[in-house]
Amino acid sequence: MNLLLGLRRHRSGPMLGAGLLVLSLLLSACGSAPAPASPSAAPAPTPAPAGPTSFRIAIGVDLDSTDPAGQTTTTVSNLLDYAVETLVKLDKDGNLKPGLADTWQVAGDGLSITFKLHSGVKFQDGTAMDANAVKFSFDRLLNPDVKSPQRSTFNSIKSVDAVDPATVRLNLKEPAPYLLAGLTATTSAVISPASVTAGGNTMTNYTTPVGTGPYSFKEYVKGSKVTLEKFKDYWGAKPYYDSVVFSIVPEAGTRETLLQAGQVDMIILPNTPDIPALQKNPAVKVLLASSNRTIFVALNTRDAALQDPRVRQALNYAVNKEDIIKNVLFGAAEPMQGPMAPSLFGYCQTNAYPYDPDKAKSLLQQAGATNLSLKFMSPTGRYVQDFQAAQAIAGYLDKVGVKAQVSTSDWPSYVGAITAPPDKNATQMHVLGWAPSFLDAQQAMVQFQTDNNPPKGLATSFYSNAQVDSTLAQAAKEVNPDKRKQLYCDAEKQVWSDAPWIFLWVQSFPIVYSAKVTGVSFLPNEKFDAIYAKPQ
């Protein structure tokens, strides 16, 4: 049958013509993919709405836990900050400011901290916030049955006393000078004791958080969106919008289109290459928030090829960080000038490792390390342009004679590989990012403590320096802030010159919002601060 019809003459013209037409349509659609710079047909300005107002934000991750105590992700904590509050808060520069506590006092021996609570504060379920509620929240946080991966910050707390309805005292096992900074973490937020047994919540399964914040948790559609409603009896300054809606949109490109289409008012983490165009776009504003996340290449100091500090220093000199930041990260980072982000307490600026390939080559020669060949691992999509930056870095290393073999894998395999115990650990160089859960050097320097080497912890460069260890141990208990700072500074300088890492950059946290909105700010721990946003 096919043969029969196959004998007929084909008229190929129409087919080719149709083909060309379709292909050209496709190509023209691709070619004219709009650069966000061109203000596309903006939706007609909507008249001031008579009904309830809503601020819409698009984020990229779904909620893993709605329990403040169970937080592991900054973005989810950020969302919960609309509903729950902590005793102490952060300001834009990383300094502590009053939260639910008006004032606090650290005892002379450092073994207790006493907080005076703000009066007249209500929870969203109508009950009063008092010392008992605070005690309850902390007791719950320390309860081993409650899932709290970031509990370790608070392990120094021995007990909590509700001295009187407006006074709470934390009793510590040992002096913990970093604890006040730690109390800014959403993990330690105060929740309503009554809520733990109401609205479908249980002690260990806390699905609808009830706190003291300006918005209350209204609705959560898994994988789709979270709706928060204004809390009329909020004790602080009232925000403008009646509700806040978080849309969960995993694709950066899609988030951008949502903003451009006017479907949301603010997004975080756009496609990095679009940042320059977005900055030029008059319809949106770009905020490159400084953060506390350092990105570096951890070097396995136990590996024969990397044992000599001169080799590691050479690697630092070999990489042109500024260039990579400009061309690969599109300006969304600041070069590291110390082993941690500047916003941390105890940060101390050391000399930079400027781009100097000649110095790198000579150091390598001195160390007798010519023809190095190293395995270089990087995650994909975990950090801003991580994979791309790794390739760029490998390119620079190649220019000084170091062959770096770049590879990637999925995140869990990656973590498994880099935290393998010393006898099984085959890593040589790997990209990693570290964002301390609170802004204190103690959290950053754990990366250089011997007792934090895998498999116990995540100091994946296996760095071990007894002097540094003892300095850090001292600093962890030093109550005097100036002395503490000095101790950390000493440790940092030592680490910097030992170069267990290729110190790369401090990642910025890009926030993009509609130009029709104002009052969007940030906190230096990768959080946006849009509670007091309002229309222009």
| Contacts (CB under 8 A) with other proteins, residues 52-111 | 62-65, 70, 72-73
* Cα of 488 vs its chain's centroid, Å: 23
CA–CA separation, 427 vs 297, rounded Å?
A: 11
Sign of the CA dihedral with 350 first, then 472, 383, and 96 last: negative
CA–CA separation, 188 vs 70, rounded Å?
A: 10
Kindly indicate which of the ranges 113-121, 223-231, 345-353, 479-487 contains the residues binding other proteins, using the contact rule CB under 8 A.
223-231
Among 198, 221, 473, 515, binds other proteins (CB under 8 A): 221
Q: Where are the beta strands (DSSP E) in 85-140?
A: 88-90, 96-98, 101-106, 112-117
Q: Does 258 bind other proteins (CB under 8 A)?
A: yes
Site for other proteins, residues 374 to 403, rule: CB under 8 A: 380-381, 387-388, 391-392, 394-395
CA–CA separation, 443 vs 490, rounded Å?
A: 16
CA–CA separation, 411 vs 432, rounded Å?
A: 11
Supply the DSSP symbol for 438: S
Site for other proteins, residues 138 to 177, rule: CB under 8 A: 144, 147-152
Site for other proteins, residues 266 to 295, rule: CB under 8 A: 271-274, 276-277
CA–CA separation, 62 vs 414, rounded Å?
A: 22
Among 235, 417, 521, 535, binds other proteins (CB under 8 A): 417
Q: Does 514 bind other proteins (CB under 8 A)?
A: no
Measured from the CB atom, the residue of 259 and 311 that comes closer to other proteins is 259
Kindly indicate which of the ranges 360-368, 431-439, 468-476, 523-531 contains the residues binding other proteins, using the contact rule CB under 8 A.
431-439
Closest to 289 (Cα-Cα) out of 508, 72, 18: 508
Measured from the CB atom, the residue of 207 and 243 that comes closer to other proteins is 207
CA–CA separation, 1 vs 333, rounded Å?
A: 67
Measured from the CB atom, the residue of 47 and 412 that comes closer to other proteins is 412
Closest to 302 (Cα-Cα) out of 468, 494, 463: 463
Q: How far is the CB of 534 from other proteins (least distance, A)?
A: 23
> In this structure, how many other beta carbons lie within 10 angstroms of the beta carbon of residue 419?
17
Q: Does 216 bind other proteins (CB under 8 A)?
A: no
What is the total count of residues that contact other proteins (CB under 8 A)? 103
Measured from the CB atom, the residue of 107 and 146 that comes closer to other proteins is 146
Closest to 54 (Cα-Cα) out of 528, 511, 510, 530: 530
Q: Does 328 bind other proteins (CB under 8 A)?
A: yes
Among 309, 342, 457, 519, binds other proteins (CB under 8 A): 457
Q: How far is the CB of 410 from other proteins (least distance, A)?
A: 5
Q: Does 15 bind other proteins (CB under 8 A)?
A: yes
Q: Does 260 bind other proteins (CB under 8 A)?
A: yes
CA–CA separation, 247 vs 281, rounded Å?
A: 23
**66: exposed, middle or buried (C-beta count within 10 Å: 0-12, 13-18, 19+)?**
buried
Q: How far is the CB of 392 from other proteins (least distance, A)?
A: 6
Kindly indicate which of the ranges 39-47, 188-196, 294-302, 490-498 contains the residues binding other proteins, using the contact rule CB under 8 A.
39-47
Measured from the CB atom, the residue of 236 and 262 that comes closer to other proteins is 262
Site for other proteins, residues 184 to 213, rule: CB under 8 A: 204-205, 207
